[in-house]
Amino acid sequence: MPELPEVETIARQLRARGIEGREIGSAQVNWERTVAPLTAATFSKQVCGVTITQISRVGKWILFSLSSGQTLMIHLRMAGRFSMEPGAHDRLILRLSDGLSLYYRDTRKFGRWRLVDDPEVILSKLGPDALTRKFTLSYFTETLRKRQRKIKPLILDQAIVAGLGNIYADEALWESKIHPERVSNTLNDAELKNLFKAIKHVLRVGVKNRGTSLGKGKTNYRDVEGETGGHRAEVKAYGRGGQPCKRCKTPLKKTVVAQRGTHFCPSCQLR
Ligand SMILES: [Zn+2]
């Protein structure tokens, strides 16, 4: 599932490919649920003749600001991706000015395109984006102190902090030596600060490496250029159950926390 670094990589590539400033000539919706609650016909009518003025990202959402004043908010969910070339499983195709087309591919069909008048309809439900200045240590500390929940599901909660998914949550907890099942209000100041810094660190390194791809299947993450991202070699915890910890050589454990596969070091990350 694409997380902040993967979504950021895609947004940057769409800008680099010159999608900004282009007019949408037509929209071909092949899987109607992608644009729900709108129908394919209504969606196409509303975006036709409109220019994509700006592409940005908040959390795991990609935002296309439109000249009509509306915003197209795209969530890739499990397996959504973009391509400049046609392929199997194209659920939505935007025909743009100067003969350019943008293909939205989604084998799992979970991705969503929401056309909204005001992005706050969705953004107001999110916590601060993990890589912005709004995500501060004092906000993080106060928010976690007030809650009595296991730390891993808490940092996965997009209403607390936007951008982390399963891979980078495991990475941040490994980096800060915190057990994924620790209860949030038992973390001391030093631990909270380490976790806060680790979240920013793992996401920044992920962006620098153009994201992470950990599988070989069709649902696996690919960027706009069809690349799988260069972050795989940097992954310290996620998907490494049974392999030696890169800090202390103890075999990492795989467990399930809040229904999510979770990887941690039983000696570095004490309960
Ligand atoms: Zn270790």
Residue 270 within any structural domain of the chain: no
- CA 248–ligand 1 middle distance (angstroms): 4
Separation of 267 CA from ligand 1 center, angstroms?
5
How many domains in the chain?
2
Pick the residue with more confidence: 132 or 215?
A: 132
Asked if the model's pLDDT at residue 267 lies above 80, the reply is: yes
Share above pLDDT 90 across residues of the chain, in percent, rounded to a whole number:
87
Q: Which residues pair with 256 in a beta bridge?
A: 261
Name which of 255, 107, 271 is nearest 263 in CA terms: 255
Residue with tokens 């129908």: 39
- Positive or negative, the Cα torsion across 21, 26, 30, 31? positive
Q: Give the model confidence (pLDDT) of 127-182 as tens digits.
A: 999 999 999 999 999 999 999 999 999 999 999 999 999 999 999 999 999 999 99
Give ion ligand 1 contacts, CB < 5 A.
Answer: 245, 247-248, 250, 265, 267-268
If one counts every other C-beta atom within 10 angstroms of the C-beta of residue 112, the result is 17
Q: Which residue has the higher pLDDT, 67 or 225?
A: 67
Domain boundary among 123, 148, 177: 123
| Residue 176 falls inside a structural domain | yes
| b/e sequence 124-160, b meaning 16+ C-beta within 10 Å | eebbbbbbeeebeeeebbebbeeeeebbbbbbbbbeb
**Nearest partner of 258 among 156, 184, 187, 158, judged by Cα:** 156
If asked whether residues 198 and 167 sit together in one domain, one would say: yes
Give the Cα separation of 251 and 152 in Å (integer). 20
Residue 218: the pLDDT is 59
Q: Which amino acid is at 233?
A: A
CATH number at residue 116: 3.20.190.10
SS3 of 211, please?
coil
Q: Is the pLDDT of residue 224 over 90?
A: no
DSSP run (H or E) holding 8: helix 4-16
pLDDT of 234 over the 90 cut: no
Q: How far is the CA of 211 from the centre of ligand 1 (A)?
A: 24
User: Token pair for residue 243?
Assistant: 């392999």
Give yes or no for a contact between 61 and 11, defined as CB atoms under 8 angstroms apart.
Answer: no
DSSP 225: T
Cα(163) to centroid(ligand 1), Å:
25
Domain span including residue 215 = 137-264
143/63 same-domain check: no
Q: Are residues 153 and 223 in the same domain?
A: yes
**What's the CA-to-centroid distance between 245 and ligand 1, angstroms?**
5
DSSP state of 189: H
Q: How confident is the model at residue 214 (pLDDT cuts 50, 70, 90)?
A: low
Q: Which of 29-33, 100-104, 120-124, 210-214 has the lowest mean pLDDT?
A: 210-214
The pTM score is 0.93
pLDDT of 215 strictly over 70: no
The CATH number given to whatever domain includes residue 218 is 1.10.8.50
CB 207 within 8 A of CB 8: yes
In a shared domain, residues 161 and 111 = no
Q: Which residues contact 86 (CB under 8 A, 6 or more apart)?
A: 93, 101, 103
pLDDT at 180: 98
The span from the CA of 25 to the CA of 157, in Å, is 37
- What the block records as the tokens of 198 is 């680790």
Residues β-bridged to residue 95: 26, 101
pLDDT tens for residues 42-63? 999 999 999 999 999 999 999 9
Residues with catalytic annotation?
2-3, 60, 260
Residues 83, 165, single domain; the answer is: no
Instruction: Kindly state the average pLDDT of the residues 247-259.
Output: 96
Distance of CA 37 to the CA centre of its chain: 22
Domain limit, last residue, from 93, 123, 153: 123
